[in-house]
Amino acid sequence: MLMARPVLKNLLEQYETLSARHAAHGSGESLRRLEDVSYTLCVSTGTRDIDAALAAARHRLAATDPAHHARHARAKHAQALAS
């Protein structure tokens, strides 16, 4: 499935932000928003689960922007430290 780079990048950033917020301040609203963006990522990448969707999105973004992978690795590390 083809997805415009800026849209896919935005979805991935939304997921990462919402995931961190939900982990820190789990609420019904944050869970609903996280589920919505997870579903959209799955549909956008043609996958059935969020792990596959994240991998597909990151792979597509890395293919067009090698620096994206390095930024994502730093963000994921920072998120793990905050948990």
> Which residue is it, tokens 């969020």?
50
Q: Give the list of residues 6+ apart from residue 19 with CB closer than 8 angstroms, or none.
A: 34, 79
Q: What is the pLDDT of residues 25-34, one digit of tens each?
A: 888 888 999 9
Quick check: 45 and 37 in contact, CB under 8 A? no
pTM: 0.71
Q: How many CB atoms lie within 10 A of CB 29?
A: 11
What is the distance between the alpha carbons of residues 29 and 7, in angstroms, rounded to a whole number? 23
Q: What is the pLDDT of residues 22-78, one digit of tens each?
A: 888 888 888 999 999 999 999 999 999 999 999 999 998 888 766 655 666 676 766
pLDDT surpassing 70 at residue 1: no
The predicted pLDDT at position 42 comes to 96
Q: Write out the H or E segment, with its range, that includes residue 59.
A: helix 50-64
pLDDT surpassing 60 at residue 4: yes
